[in-house]
Amino acid sequence: MRPRWLCTVTASALALSLSVAAALPAAAAATPSAASSEAAAQRAQLQQLARRLVEAGAPGVIVRVDDGRGRPVEIAAQAPWTRRDHLLKVGDEFRMGSNTKTMVATLVLQLVAEGKLSLTDPVEKWLPGKVPGGRAITLRMLLNHTSGLFDYTDDAAIRPSMLGKDRRRWTSAQLLAVGVKHDPLFAPGTKWSYSNTGYAALGAVLERVTGEGLAELVRDRIARPLGLRHTYYATGSTWRGSHAHGYERDAAHMPPSVPAEFRHLAGERRNGHVDVSDNDPGWGGAAGAVVSTTQDWSRFHTALLSGKLLPAAQMAQLRTTVPVDSRQPDGPGYGLGIQTGATPCGTFWGHDGGMPGYLTTNLADRTGSRTATVLIATEFWAEFEADPKIAKAAQALQSAVTCTMFGKPVPAAAQAG
């Protein structure tokens, strides 16, 4: 559940489109027939790139792009061998992984707006004695990954759950306890380092302040008000609707760069892969346990970034970013549960999420009027930089999706793959 994929959106879009950006003519007003023709061409291009990604080794791909000007482009492509398990559809549910953080940040900011929390509150105020040095760590630091807390997903105790071999139900408090067993990485507020432990702490704070579980908070404060019928905080391995199957290669076919301790996953064997769809995502907790669909997440992003879910003051807090890389102060930034970066086609806001079998990137423009999602039904290739062939095809697709979302021509380099 690290932000390794989203950070490549900027880099890949830059590399693929700078070569043609200077040569692109200014867009002229399109007639209805020209607009229809353009949309058909965009869809054909994205379909081709999605198929190339499947041919490169991805078991399945879902793409949804809404440029705010008409009917969204929706694509589902899958490897033939996966059809015995499920016929992939654009409306299928899937694990959102760390995209969950955007929803959790929204919940925190709603309580800030209601006067029940403050971003300057030390974590010690709400979780006394649970976080060493908690008097110096604020809720804002937890939200923007400047707390210095060790990431609990790097602890071996979590690994059996990640691999689907341990079915225990982790609580926010338990996940937090795993993370804080380790020494902090740096003094609070002095650096940036992605930490799922910070969001486990936020989950525990939300539960204490409201007296409700995270599943109820997501349901009552976000999903039901927005009519998100396929969005929920998973409380087990069971799916509520038709869902995308996620896969990783089995031990015999795993790329050599995947560490030995991650090579054996629980699940049914399929064509050199393991179907991990029924493994419990509960180890993700407030950092990664939400399930959703492309359409639901688009609606959520639109509601959030247009100001429907938060007052203006909290939207300003959400968008206040810190550099992800101190060496690039003008590079990608992380706000409160959301990331931003500039590409030649436009500046995106969004997040990514990864857990075994599912890698998702969700993007939007600043106002939420344009949205895009890419799901790839396998994740270890990105987590461990294990498959350059998939990586190249995925970056080409992501670059094209980003430009299509902003209503810009798909770069010729992306079309060539």
> Hey, what CATH topology would domain 7-24+36-416 get?
Beta-lactamase (3.40.710)
Residues 179 and 185 sit within 8 Å (Cβ to Cβ): no
Nearest to residue 406, comparing CAs of 377, 367, 365, 350?
Answer: 365
Q: What is the model's pLDDT at position 237?
A: 96
In this structure, the number of other CB atoms found within 10 A of the CB of residue 130 comes to 16
**309 Cα distance to chain centroid:** 19
* C-alpha span between 197 and 106 (Å, rounded): 18
pLDDT along the chain (417 residues), means of 10: 52 41 40 68 93 98 95 97 97 98 98 98 98 98 98 97 95 98 98 98 98 98 98 97 98 95 97 97 98 98 98 98 91 96 95 98 98 98 95 96 92 60
Q: What is the model's pLDDT at position 27?
A: 41
- pTM comes to 0.93
Q: What is the model's pLDDT at position 153?
A: 97
Q: What is the model's pLDDT at position 6?
A: 52
Q: What is the model's pLDDT at position 22?
A: 34
How many residues are given for the chain? 417
Per-residue pLDDT of 264-293, as tens digits, reads 999 999 999 999 999 999 999 999 999 999
Per-residue pLDDT of 191-230, as tens digits, reads 999 999 999 999 999 999 999 999 999 999 999 999 999 9
Q: What is the model's pLDDT at position 17?
A: 39
Place of tokens 């970013």: 321
Q: What is the model's pLDDT at position 31?
A: 58
First to last CA, the chain: 27
* C-alpha span between 107 and 97 (Å, rounded): 17
In this structure, the number of other CB atoms found within 10 A of the CB of residue 281 comes to 28
Q: What is the model's pLDDT at position 129?
A: 97
